[in-house]
């Protein structure tokens, strides 16, 4: 009975695939056109696209491309292992398949193996540097994650030279210029990103932040002592402000989903980690920039699962701290002026627990 139940549970997916091919057949789209559906760029449902790729592979047509496209579709379904397996097949057939190395590198990164990812990006670049824009960009991200900022900027430079309309490269390079306090260059990159995509809200927010700091320092690149410390200004800034340590609304309360303890720390690689401890599990985010405002608040940008949010912290007279704003990359607030917009209540002060 269990097997039967599982079979029926899979019926919606089976029917979707069968119905899709039936519709395509009666519309005059025959199996020979499976190559069109297999290509994820054409936007077919991943289940349908994978079935189309299976047809191509069974027929033995353009096997390197079919395996590559099926790998991309597995990646869309977040099945990294199957994606890597298909990229391996594609590369076994065509060892000079540049895009397959880039895609496999991205899959290795998603799987949590950045060194293997970098190896694939290097291989992609070696095949033909003049067509390796995406590989340079991906390797730039690798260097950024390793806090090798100049190497990251160099790779972003190459990516932009090869792909001058690639917004993400300008955004990433602008972010690193911002992190190095070179606000003039950061503003220029955000302006280029906005020229390509005028609706890029994150570029608007970051550009405004860079312009504010540029004005504060008179247009010059501020010295590290202006931020209270030597290299890695973000880490030094939050240390000087006093954020490092563990904080909670009630340090004696048992940890659970409603009572977390938040710890801010700098790991051995110099990254600023913001860790939530819920007792049964933890969640980590990375603080990628920090600045102290004219009113003394600490403004930080955090990244969690590739999503960036900005927070503002303000110290209270009793040395506790409160969040005074929280907004996403679209400039949408969940907390504004110390008020939680969903409930209308003020944010709860956090006290130091160590």
Alpha helices in the chain (DSSP H): 2-9, 11-26, 34-38, 46-59, 63-76, 80-93, 98-111, 114-127, 133-145, 149-162, 167-179, 183-196, 201-216, 233-241
Report how far residue 254's alpha carbon sits from residue 7's, in angstroms, rounded to the nearest whole number.
44
Residue 284 carries which DSSP code?
E
Report how far residue 154's alpha carbon sits from residue 74's, in angstroms, rounded to the nearest whole number.
32
Contact 187, 211 (CB under 8 A): yes
Report how far residue 81's alpha carbon sits from residue 56's, in angstroms, rounded to the nearest whole number.
21
Report how far residue 2's alpha carbon sits from residue 129's, in angstroms, rounded to the nearest whole number.
54
Residue 78: strand, helix, or coil: coil
Contact 94, 100 (CB under 8 A): yes
Average pLDDT over residues 176-204: 87
Token pair for residue 160? 């932009």
Task: Give the best-scoring range by mean pLDDT among 29-43, 186-200, 335-349.
Answer: 186-200
Which helix (H) or strand (E) covers residue 287, if one does?
strand 282-292
**Burial category of 65 from C-beta neighbours within 10 Å (exposed 0-12, middle 13-18, buried 19 and up):** buried
The full 3-state SS of 258-272, as one line of letters, equals CECEEEEEECCCCCE
Read off the pLDDT of residues 117-169 as tens digits, 9 standing for 90 and up.
Answer: 999 999 999 999 999 999 999 999 899 878 788 899 999 999 999 999 999 99
Contact 61, 94 (CB under 8 A): no
Give the rounded percent of residues in the chain with a pLDDT score beyond 70: 84
In 10 A of CB 211, how many CB atoms? Answer: 15
Domain positions in the chain are 229-352
pTM, two decimal places: 0.58
Q: State the pLDDT at residue 2.
A: 42
Contact 119, 87 (CB under 8 A): no
Q: State the pLDDT at residue 25.
A: 45
Confidence of residue 232 (pLDDT cuts 50, 70, 90): very low
Confidence of residue 4 (pLDDT cuts 50, 70, 90): very low
Q: State the pLDDT at residue 345.
A: 83
Report how far residue 299's alpha carbon sits from residue 235's, in angstroms, rounded to the nearest whole number.
13
Q: State the pLDDT at residue 12.
A: 53
């Amino acid at each position: 009975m269990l097997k039967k139940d599982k079979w029926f549970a899979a019926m919606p997916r089976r029917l979707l695939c069968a119905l899709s091919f039936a519709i395509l057949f009666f519309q005059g789209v025959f199996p020979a056109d499976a190559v069109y559906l297999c290509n994820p760029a054409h936007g077919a449902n991943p289940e349908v696209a994978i079935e189309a790729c299976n047809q191509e592979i069974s027929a033995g047509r353009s096997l390197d491309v079919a395996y590559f496209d099926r790998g991309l579709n597995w990646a869309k379904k977040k099945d990294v292992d199957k994606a890597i397996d298909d990229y391996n097949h594609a590369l076994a057939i065509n060892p000079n398949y540049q895009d397959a190395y880039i895609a496999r590198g991205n899959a290795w990164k998603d799987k949590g193996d950045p060194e293997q990812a970098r190896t694939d990006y290097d291989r992609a670049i070696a095949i033909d540097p003049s067509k390796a824009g995406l590989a340079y960009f991906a390797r730039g991200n690798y260097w950024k994650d390793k806090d090798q900022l100049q190497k990251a900027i160099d790779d972003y430079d190459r990516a932009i030279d090869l792909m001058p309309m690639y917004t993400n490269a300008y955004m990433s390079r602008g972010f690193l210029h911002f992190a190095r306090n070179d606000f003039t260059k950061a503003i220029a990159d955000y302006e280029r990103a906005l020229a390509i995509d005028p609706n890029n809200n994150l570029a608007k927010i970051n550009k405004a932040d860079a312009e504010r700091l540029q004005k504060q320092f008179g247009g010059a690149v501020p010295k590290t002592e202006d931020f209270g410390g030597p290299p890695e200004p973000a880490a030094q800034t939050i240390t000087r402000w006093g954020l490092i340590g563990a904080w909670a609304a009630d340090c004696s309360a048992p940890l659970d989903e409603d009572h977390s303890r938040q710890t801010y720390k700098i790991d051995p690689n110099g990254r600023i980690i913001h860790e939530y401890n819920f007792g049964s599990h933890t969640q980590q985010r990375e603080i990628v920039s920090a600045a102290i405002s004219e009113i003394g608040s600490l403004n930080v940008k955090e990244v969690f699962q590739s999503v960036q949010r900005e927070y503002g912290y303000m110290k209270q007279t009793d040395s506790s701290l409160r969040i005074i704003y929280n907004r996403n990359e679209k400039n949408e607030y969940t907390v504004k002026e110390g008020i939680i917009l969903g409930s209308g209540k003020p944010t709860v002060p956090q006290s130091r627990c160590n």
